[in-house]
Structure 1
Amino acid sequence: MRKLDDVIGKLSPARRQKVEARAQELIAEELTLQDIRRAQKLTQQQMARSLKIGQDSISRLEKRSDMMLSTMRSYVEAMGGSLELVARFPKRAPVIIRSMEDVSSAPKKVVKRKKPELVRA
């Protein structure tokens, strides 16, 4: 039976580097907020202070399966990162959504215009 280390050991350095890079990509795709925080060497207490919330709120936030983008953005920025939202469509390059403004705000004010008066001769 072959061992993984033996197989990887027989690869060229360039091929090994590609395999390692792809492995890191796959791992990065599956990180949780908790994993990211730990990778940044931050504690829940540090995050709580940065976000001005309690440590218990950080714990609950890290366990959530659904949250508002603004919450996610704040969390990521508190770790020194930035958050990008990418939309992917078939047969089209990915689209980075730069702004979500007006999505969660109150409806825009409707300005009513006066009808022009008819001038009779």
Structure 2
Amino acid sequence: MGKTLKEKLKELPLERQEKIQNRTNELIALEMTRQELRQKRKVTQKQIAECLRIDQGNVSRIEQRTDLMLSTLRKYIVAMGGDLQIVAVFPDSDPITLIGFSEETSET
């Protein structure tokens, strides 16, 4: 029977195990929910609501939704002082930043 990942990791030198754990921690820290991101940026739901000209309850709903329009997400990120970028990641190439999603277009 094959070895588990944990078993394989235990076979590595301690220094290598520590590097892997540190990188794992870095990657985990980069993944956040919208609410965690807002809290880390020290922005309140009320501040987001005022910027978006909606009520605080709608901000809460934005943070809880699993299916969100990109335009809504972009406005939410901009309200915190950020910019939304969409990146496509493939196993056989470098990440590719997609254009045409970050900027609000005015169609008149």
Would you call these one fold, judging by a TM-score over 0.5? yes
Q: Which stretches in structure 2 are left out of the alignment for 5+ residues? A: 1-13
TM-score (norm 1): 0.62
Structure 2 vs 1, CA of residues 88 and 38 (structure 1 numbering), >3 Å: closer, same or farther?
A: same
Distance 1:52 1:89 in 2: 37
SS at match of 1:66: coil
State the Cα distance separating 1:59 from its structure 2 match.
0.6
Q: Percent identity?
A: 39
Question: Which residue number corresponds to residue 92 of structure 1?
Answer: 93
Higher helix share: 2
| Dislocated runs of 4+, deviation >4 Å | 15-22
Q: How many residues align?
A: 91
Instruction: Give the number of the structure whose alpha-carbon radius of gyration is greater.
Output: 1
Structure 2 vs 1, CA of residues 61 and 99 (structure 1 numbering), >3 Å: closer, same or farther?
A: same
Distance 2:82 2:41 in 1: 10
SS at match of 1:96: strand
Q: Is the 8 A contact 2:45 2:59 kept in 1?
A: yes
The structure whose RCO (Cα within 8 Å, separation 6+) is larger is 2
